[in-house]
């Protein structure tokens, strides 16, 4: 199992449905577990995935997970931990990158639903680039998304720092490039 100390924040309280995730990528059990741990997907997604696996797998743990009712969500972690103990561990950075791609993809399509940063003091945000910046911060500034935010003068001439809404056209180009690259990288 991945290192437990690799906590990712979810300042916008984004929840991604399993159906959306499955349109973009295949998640292994560890990746799903980490998404649940980081609160980007609900524990019910593990039950959904287990139900889909029943035809292909007769593991007692997957059967147990698939048999849970919605009021037994507290048992999801128990079954996932057992399933993970029998599987090869995935690199935590790779898991984080895949979830970053999923979160950014979801936010790109649904950003109007996320207008508050939940912190010690909650405050509103409205622009997509602000929301992407919050996610980038939550994921501890990964390089794969970094060129969108780095200052042009410090780094190469393709990079820029968003300081005003008039930079949104450039931002959208960089964001589309990022999503295209990650789509190829994590293709199902």
Q: Please state, in angstroms and rounded to a whole number, the distance separating the CA atoms of residues 107 and 131.
A: 8
Is there a contact between 90 and 28 (Cβ–Cβ < 8 Å)? yes
Boundaries of domain holding 35: 29-85
Give a yes or no: residue 11 inside a domain.
no
pLDDT tens, residue by residue, 15-64 = 999 999 999 999 999 999 999 999 999 999 999 999 998 888 778 999 99
Specify the number of domains making up the chain.
Answer: 2
pLDDT tens, residue by residue, 51-103 = 998 888 778 999 999 999 988 999 999 999 999 998 888 899 999 999 999 99
Same domain, yes or no: 49 and 78: yes
Same domain, yes or no: 74 and 107: no
Same domain, yes or no: 173 and 130: yes
Strand partners, 124: 116
């Amino acid at each position: 199992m991945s290192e437990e100390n690799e906590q990712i924040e979810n300042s916008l309280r984004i929840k991604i449905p399993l159906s959306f995730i499955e349109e973009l990528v295949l998640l292994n059990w560890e990746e799903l577990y980490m998404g649940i741990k980081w609160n980007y997907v609900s524990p019910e997604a593990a039950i959904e995935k287990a139900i889909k696996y029943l035809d292909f797998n007769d593991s007692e743990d997957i059967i147990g997970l698939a048999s849970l009712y919605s009021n037994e969500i507290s048992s999801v972690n128990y079954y996932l931990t057992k399933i993970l103990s029998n599987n090869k561990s995935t690199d935590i950075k790779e898991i984080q990158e895949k979830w970053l791609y999923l979160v950014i993809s979801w936010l790109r399509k649904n950003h109007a639903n996320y207008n508050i940063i939940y912190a010690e003091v909650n405050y509103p945000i409205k622009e997509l680039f602000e929301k992407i910046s919050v996610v980038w911060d939550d994921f501890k500034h990964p390089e794969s998304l970094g060129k969108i935010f780095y200052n042009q003068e410090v780094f190469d001439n393709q990079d820029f720092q968003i300081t005003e809404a008039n930079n949104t056209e450039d931002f959208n180009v960089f964001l589309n490039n990022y999503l295209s690259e990650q789509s190829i990288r994590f293709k199902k």
